[in-house]
């Protein structure tokens, strides 16, 4: 096979639509893979899209038809077939080679392969790809085929383009155009490997590889027999593909195979697989041997959603994943690796790839394979009703087939999910009336997708949607059945209302907070800076988002007097809300089998639910998640009108010992103390009622529970707003040591949720720990890296850098 990559010498030109003078008709250098927004930015024709209020000023880009052009040299080499392979065109493209139209596309989420032999010439060839304006196209298709409900302001559900590129309640509206994945010319003869599905099973101690191989044959060789070889772990098996056939199935057994486990449960051995058409083509990938089962069988309490890998129940501690950049071509393996490290270092074991984004690149899934991070993958239908007529159904089936096939090697992928919130939208959000009998996606979720998963990869679990109660006769969002999304708390209630829910599995819930100070102020330039400034609200996409932030901290924190305090209070409240919710949900184990917080990451600098902001700075929420997702956790929870310590032991070893429980004054005086014997099984939970003498306290007291091998639990009897906290409880020293700055804090009085906003000391600074609560007399050292030598250590002791809950009272 001969391959000509088409990466160089591209231009992009605005050919129709409201392009401004200086852009219309002008050939602009283009990067492929890439997107037109970034080409315009590199050419100096637009300002930074994420800055200030530029989003609105650049809406014209999505209303313009764009032409991408390049030339390449080709010389005949005797190959029988010549094909143009476009792995990703965004989105409505007409492909023209040497003046001959060779194909059209209408789906960002799939690849295309066009035969181009009749249009190629020996020597210089001219390739043109015209991409229609996505925003008017989406509106036109919606009008033509019947408007259907959707969130946000564009009918993204009428076009197979990344939904969030049209804007979301955390996302910028940058619907554009581009050649967003590699494009190339391939020349080959006789046959090539079209696809491989290397499905795995485990039979006792034997790993079973069942390789399904699809073959594309060249012109004139349909009658020839072929041989397919599959090699794994030093063992090779082969089969003959008879004349006229184009598919093969090869089984290879691997004796004494090592099992692939989720992180925290074992190792992640991966086996290289080679599939060959000898002398013609090869495919290489990796697999991990493991089994997957999700238990949703009805029980006396409803029905669970319990993920089992290799027969073992996995308590899920996860996060939802959105595209990590609004311009997805800017995310490479290194950025993926840093985000997945954000997950694993916060004790997560699952990422849910949300349905309004993309099927991520193989780098994402490869890294999850290596790190033992389970993947729940949505099909790409989110928060909308979707037509089931042929014009859209053919594309949805094609993309689903390709995605299932491409992702089949990855052991980390354990769940396919039919959609995000579309079933609950139809059932509970009033869509049925608005649709007036039009199709809405039911056929995809209950017929097409389960059929495709069964046909192409029966080794994974399929869920029709999220949330879902696993019965067509129940509301989709019942907390006693299956998966739930909990959004009433963020939208209308105090975060204490998380305790009103007793969910079997939480697939979405979250609370907002702003990004790091530097991330925010590098993009928002209101003068003065204030929560309801024009540019601030450009970077707050949730409906009445900043109003909800204020309502959210009201019962918990003093009203902030400055923008600095507003920023700290809303970040702190976000962390406290999610910490509160997860501690409650986890305390319900084994009835509750998992939580997936919304969300891990951001795709631009924005006020959002993310734990890590777009500039890759970890918010206080991230540190809260790390603590509350500890495999071994002690949490104090109300039980039967009193308090109890709930011990969760998500480890292979049981635990037994004594709990030391103290009720202390904020000055450190011991008011009561008990020692309680306890034990908890491996991968188990136990509840220890606390005697009234320690469990009844006032606003000026705290409850402390300590158990060897567990992080200490501190329970506050009052909210910060009602707690007589010392506004200045810390003695602080900052000094340089071993290339870092070490900030030592010592508590003179109780210090709640001490946090170092490292970027306010220096934009490049990163701190190792956060949300540390200190009892009187205790010390903690924050280690800050990334600080240039010319920055004085004392900046990290500044009152706007080193914060704690009590300083909001000053």
Do 344 and 373 touch, CB atoms closer than 8 A? yes
Whether residues 604 and 715 share a domain: the answer is: no
The CATH number of whichever domain residue 587 belongs to comes to 3.20.20.80
Whether residues 670 and 714 share a domain: the answer is: yes
Spatial distance between the Cα atoms of 471 and 305, rounded to a whole number of angstroms: 13
Whether residues 254 and 162 share a domain: the answer is: no
Spatial distance between the Cα atoms of 612 and 610, rounded to a whole number of angstroms: 5
Mean pLDDT of 767-780: 98
Q: Could you report the per-residue pLDDT of 309-334, keeping only the tens digit for each? A: 999 999 999 999 999 999 999 999 99
Q: Which two tokens stand for residue 761?
A: 């000391």
Is 221 a residue whose pLDDT tops 90?
no
| Nearest Cα to Cα of residue 737 among 796, 802, 799, 798 | 796
| Nearest Cα to Cα of residue 541 among 498, 599, 616 | 599
User: What is the pLDDT confidence band of residue 224, given thresholds at 50, 70 and 90?
Assistant: confident
Is 220 a residue whose pLDDT tops 80?
no
Q: What is the pLDDT of residue 244?
A: 85
Whether residues 211 and 337 share a domain: the answer is: no
Q: Specify the pairing of strand 123-131 against strand 92-97.
A: antiparallel
Q: Which two tokens stand for residue 783?
A: 């280690």
Point out the domain boundary residue: 706, 722, 738.
722
User: What is the pLDDT confidence band of residue 623, given thresholds at 50, 70 and 90?
Assistant: very high
Strand partners, 317: 595
Q: What is the pLDDT of residue 222?
A: 64
Whether residues 600 and 459 share a domain: the answer is: yes
Spatial distance between the Cα atoms of 50 and 97, rounded to a whole number of angstroms: 35
Q: Could you report the per-residue pLDDT of 466-518, keeping only the tens digit for each? A: 999 999 999 999 999 999 999 999 999 999 999 999 999 999 999 999 999 99
Any idea which residue has 């891990």 for tokens? 600
Spatial distance between the Cα atoms of 743 and 767, rounded to a whole number of angstroms: 10
Spatial distance between the Cα atoms of 798 and 794, rounded to a whole number of angstroms: 7
Point out the domain boundary residue: 677, 702, 722.
722
Whether residues 196 and 57 share a domain: the answer is: no
Q: What is the pLDDT of residue 693?
A: 97
Whether residues 653 and 674 share a domain: the answer is: yes
Q: What is the pLDDT of residue 810?
A: 73
Q: What is the pLDDT of residue 809?
A: 83
Q: How far is CA 245 from the centre of its chain?
A: 40
Spatial distance between the Cα atoms of 110 and 160, rounded to a whole number of angstroms: 9
Q: Could you report the per-residue pLDDT of 118-167, keeping only the tens digit for each? A: 999 999 999 999 999 999 999 999 999 999 999 999 999 999 999 999 99
The CATH number of whichever domain residue 698 belongs to comes to 2.60.40.10
Q: How many folded domains does the chain comprise?
A: 5
Do 688 and 678 touch, CB atoms closer than 8 A? yes
Mean pLDDT of 97-109: 98
Question: pLDDT averaged over the chain?
Answer: 97
Owning domain of residue 764: 730-809
Any idea which residue has 């950049």 for tokens? 325
How large a percentage of the chain has pLDDT more than 70?
Answer: 100
Is 638 a residue whose pLDDT tops 90?
yes
Whether residues 576 and 681 share a domain: the answer is: no
For 810, other C-beta atoms within 10 Å of its C-beta total 12
Q: Could you report the per-residue pLDDT of 519-571, keeping only the tens digit for each? A: 999 999 999 999 999 999 999 999 999 999 999 999 999 999 999 999 999 99
Environment class of residue 552 by beta-carbon count within 10 Å: exposed (0-12), middle (13-18) or buried (19+)?
A: buried
User: What is the pLDDT confidence band of residue 465, given thresholds at 50, 70 and 90?
Assistant: very high
Phi–psi pair at 158, nearest 5 degrees: -95, 0
Whether residues 467 and 613 share a domain: the answer is: yes
| Nearest Cα to Cα of residue 129 among 84, 162, 83 | 84
The CATH number of whichever domain residue 164 belongs to comes to 2.60.120.260
Whether residues 265 and 347 share a domain: the answer is: no
User: Strands, E, within 304-441: which ranges?
Assistant: 306-309, 312-313, 316-321, 350-353, 374-378, 413-417
Q: Could you report the per-residue pLDDT of 244-277, keeping only the tens digit for each? A: 899 999 999 999 999 999 999 999 999 999 999 9
Q: Could you report the per-residue pLDDT of 421-458, keeping only the tens digit for each? A: 999 999 999 999 999 999 999 999 999 999 999 999 99
How large a percentage of the chain has pLDDT more than 90?
Answer: 99
Whether residues 398 and 487 share a domain: the answer is: yes
Whether residues 570 and 683 share a domain: the answer is: no
Point out the domain boundary residue: 287, 315, 349.
287
Do 456 and 419 touch, CB atoms closer than 8 A? no
């Amino acid at each position: 096979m001969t391959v000509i990559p088409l990466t160089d010498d591209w231009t992009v030109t605005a050919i129709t639509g409201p392009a401004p003078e200086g852009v219309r008709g002008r050939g602009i250098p283009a990067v492929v893979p890439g997107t037109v927004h970034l080409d315009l930015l590199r050419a100096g024709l637009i300002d930074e899209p994420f800055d200030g209020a530029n989003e609105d000023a650049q809406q014209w880009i999505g209303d313009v038809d764009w032409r991408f052009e390049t030339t390449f040299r080709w010389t005949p080499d005797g190959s029988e077939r010549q094909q143009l392979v476009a792995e990703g065109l965004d989105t409505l493209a007409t492909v023209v080679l040497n003046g001959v139209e060779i194909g059209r596309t209408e789906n960002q989420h799939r690849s295309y392969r066009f035969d181009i032999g009749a249009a190629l010439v020996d020597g210089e060839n001219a390739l043109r790809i015209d991409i229609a304006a996505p925003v008017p196209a989406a509106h036109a298709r919606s009008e033509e085929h019947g408007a259907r409900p959707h969130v946000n302001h564009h009918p993204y559900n009428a076009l197979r383009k990344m939904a969030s590129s049209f804007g979301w309640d955390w996302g910028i509206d940058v619907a554009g155009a581009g050649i967003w994945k590699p494009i190339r010319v391939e020349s080959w003869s006789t046959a090539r490997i079209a696809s491989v599905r290397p499905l795995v099973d485990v039979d006792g101690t034997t790993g079973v590889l069942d390789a399904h191989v699809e073959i594309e044959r060249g012109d004139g060789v349909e009658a020839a027999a072929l041989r397919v070889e599959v090699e794994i772990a030093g063992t090779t098996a082969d089969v003959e593909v008879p004349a006229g056939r184009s598919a093969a199935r090869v089984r290879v057994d691997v004796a004494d195979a090592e099992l692939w486990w989720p992180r925290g449960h074992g190792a992640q051995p991966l086996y290289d697989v080679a599939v060959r058409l000898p002398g013609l083509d090869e495919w290489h990938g990796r697999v991990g041997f493991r089994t997957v089962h999700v238990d949703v069988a009805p029980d006396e309490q409803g029905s669970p959603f319990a993920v089992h890998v290799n027969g073992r129940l996995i308590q899920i501690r996860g996060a939802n994943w959105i595209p990590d950049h609004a311009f997805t071509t800017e995310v490479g393996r290194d950025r993926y690796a840093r985000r997945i490290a954000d997950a694993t270092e916060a004790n997560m074991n699952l990422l849910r790839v949300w349905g309004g984004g993309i099927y991520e690149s193989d780098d994402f899934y490869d890294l999850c394979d290596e790190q033992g991070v389970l993947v729940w993958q949505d099909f790409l239908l989110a928060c909308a009703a979707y037509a089931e007529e042929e014009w859209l159904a053919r594309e949805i089936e094609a993309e689903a087939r390709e995605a299932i096939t491409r992702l089949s090697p990855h052991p980390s992928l354990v769940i396919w999910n039919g959609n995000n919130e579309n079933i609950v939208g139809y059932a509970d959000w009033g869509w049925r009336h608005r649709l007036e009998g039009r199709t809405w996606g039911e056929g995809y979720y209950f017929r097409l997708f389960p059929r495709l998963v069964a046909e192409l990869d029966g080794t994974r679990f399929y869920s029709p949607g999220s949330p879902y109660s696993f019965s067509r006769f129940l509301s989709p969002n019942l907390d006693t059945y299956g998966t739930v999304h909990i959004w009433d708390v963020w939208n209308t209630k105090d975060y204490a209302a998380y305790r009103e829910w007793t969910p079997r599995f939480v697939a979405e819930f979250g609370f907002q907070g702003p990004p790091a100070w530097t991330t925010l102020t590098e993009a928002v330039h209101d003068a003065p800076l204030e929560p309801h400034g024009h540019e601030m609200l450009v970077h707050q996409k949730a409906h009445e988002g900043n109003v909800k932030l204020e309502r959210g901290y009201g019962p918990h924190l003093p009203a902030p007097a400055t923008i600095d305090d507003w920023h700290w209070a809303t970040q702190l409240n976000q962390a406290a809300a999610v910490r509160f919710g997860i501690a409650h949900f986890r305390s319900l184990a084994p009835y509750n089998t998992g939580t997936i917080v919304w969300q891990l990451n951001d795709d631009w600098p924005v006020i959002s639910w993310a734990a890590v902001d777009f500039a890759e700075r970890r918010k206080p929420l991230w540190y809260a998640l790390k603590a509350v997702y500890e495999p071994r956790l002690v949490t104090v929870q109300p039980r039967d009108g009193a308090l109890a310590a709930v011990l969760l032991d998500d480890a292979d070893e049981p635990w037994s010992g004594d709990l030391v429980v103290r009720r202390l004054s904020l000055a450190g005086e011991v008011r009561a103390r008990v020692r309680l014997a306890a034990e908890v099984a491996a991968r188990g939970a136990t509840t220890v009622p606390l005697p009234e003498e320690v469990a009844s306290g006032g606003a000026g007291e705290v409850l402390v529970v300590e158990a060897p091998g567990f992080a200490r639990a501190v329970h506050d009897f009052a909210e910060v707003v009602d707690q007589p906290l010392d506004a200045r409880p810390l003695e602080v020293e900052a000094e340089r040591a071993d290339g870092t700055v070490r900030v030592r804090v010592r508590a003179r009085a109780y210090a709640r949720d001490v946090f170092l906003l490292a970027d306010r000391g220096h934009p490049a600074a990163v701190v190792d720990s956060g949300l540390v609560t200190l009892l009187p007399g205790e010390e903690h050292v924050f280690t800050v890296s990334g600080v240039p030598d010319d920055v004085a250590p004392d900046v990290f002791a500044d009152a706007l850098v080193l914060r704690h809950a009590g300083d909001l009272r000053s």
